[in-house]
Structure 1
Amino acid sequence: MKPSNNDFINSKNKRLTLLGMSGVGKTHLSKLLSTDDKWYHYSGDYRIGAKYLSREILDNIKQRIRRDEYLAELLDNNSIAIENKVTFDNLSSISNFLGKVGNPNQGGLPIDEFTKRQALFHKAEINAMLDVPKFIGKSQRQGFTHFINDAGGSLCELDDDSVYQTLAESTLILYIKASKKNQSALIERTKTHPKPLYYQNDFLQTQLNIYLQEHQFTYVAQIDPDAFVGWIFPHLLAHRVPKYESIAKQYGCTIESEDLYQCTNADEVFALINEALN
């Protein structure tokens, strides 16, 4: 159910779920609000890494360690121990687990292993988002007044109405819409700094087939993982934008990234949100 303007303005306990691509301004918004220590910050990606994929991340690291006989022996006789040190500011263990599809000699994953990890991430993200009401209660018991759910860019890809309804009932879903300038910057950044991403399986298979044909490849294992991420990202962005807009239209509201970048404090952010709700 969409909230009304008065519901948000008059609420003594403001709760937000941030929706949009990574790099669109979610962190900027969170920092503007975080100057007030009454905000509890919930990171969906942190919850995924610390709870729902922690064992799989550790198993993957141990498997790589066991390629070295010396380290494998130390690990097996408990001379060394491995920990998953995921933090709000360092989510690299999650990215490394998710990986990139392509040539194993260039750090890529075989397609079967890649799609397996994608499915695990999808399930983990659903569970992390369904945990939001529980953490809202936890935040209140700890004395926090407000709550912000910094969701991953792939939230729109879950295609699970129970997740969106749960979030809408407990938070205001705020879509930060990337401007054309912002989208171009995201595309260029991905080309120079490609990182692991989540893709819906049908979308991925379609794009892989196109890429293989365009480059006259026979096998996915011939693909340069970084080059593929840079190539597919504009298509992913075009795939996600209608999904973001649909969620915002049904459950929340939309603000423009360029307008958000002009905000310098929490009051200006709230004014922007109130305008969007009107």
Structure 2
Amino acid sequence: MIASGFRSRRLLLSLLFALTFAPKSTHTAITHEAIYRLDWVRQNYAGTFCFYPGVRSNRRSCTDPLLAAMLQTHVNNARGPGLSVAYYSANDGAILGGAEWGAWNTSFQPVVLCLSGAVDTFADTFVSVCRYATRNDDHDDPLAHAAECSNNYSPQRVSDGCYNSPGVHGFSLSKRAEDIITIVTTILAIMSAIATVIYALYKWTRARYLRKYNTVDALPVDSNLAPALEGAALVPREEYIRRTQETIPESPASYERFNPWV
């Protein structure tokens, strides 16, 4: 009985020691949209969490050498998986995963979150930011931005669908611009198709109407000739000439007024 109690106390002390002196862990991932000082983290149309930086001039100056090095690693990572939002191990600079990374980090080294995005729709201005990750969805937490580094470059290769990066030089449309262009192009195509159908229907109706009068060109009747034309609204050209010959005045001026072909 005494031995059993002694073993229980030893087990309890071991658990307390493990909880007290075990390395602190950080569970980091992005699971919902958030904003911090005009900088958005939200999903694109494909469901990928992307970074949409705002236009602002009050970004923190880079004073942390580790973050400065990680920012250069993030921007110059031309052979990596092509992530615009990525978690890095501060121990060796290795990429741990994208925005959805949720593995437990059991090392004493901090985890660095780097985000890159296009400021405007046409993706010719970029912002990249690196900071320490503290927990899940910490983008809107001011404490998570206590130390950060930023510049106006983007990773040289991005394949996560957040935008098409031209790297330091070049030009490319962002995902939002491509979506807007696709929507506008689709709307214009639909409007063009509707206009084509309406015009075809108009031509078909006009052809039937003109066949009914057995003519190619029907002419409006002058109101002064209504008695001679018995109130007809439209008549064939030959019939118009035949009927109006009986009502043409002798005066040349009047003739020109009544004859539309003079």
Question: Which of the pair has the greater relative contact order for Cα pairs under 8 Å at 6+ separation?
Answer: 1
TM-score normalized with structure 2 length: 0.22
Determine which structure has more spread, i.e. the larger CA radius of gyration: 2
TM-score normalized with structure 1 length: 0.21
Q: Which has the higher helix share?
A: 1
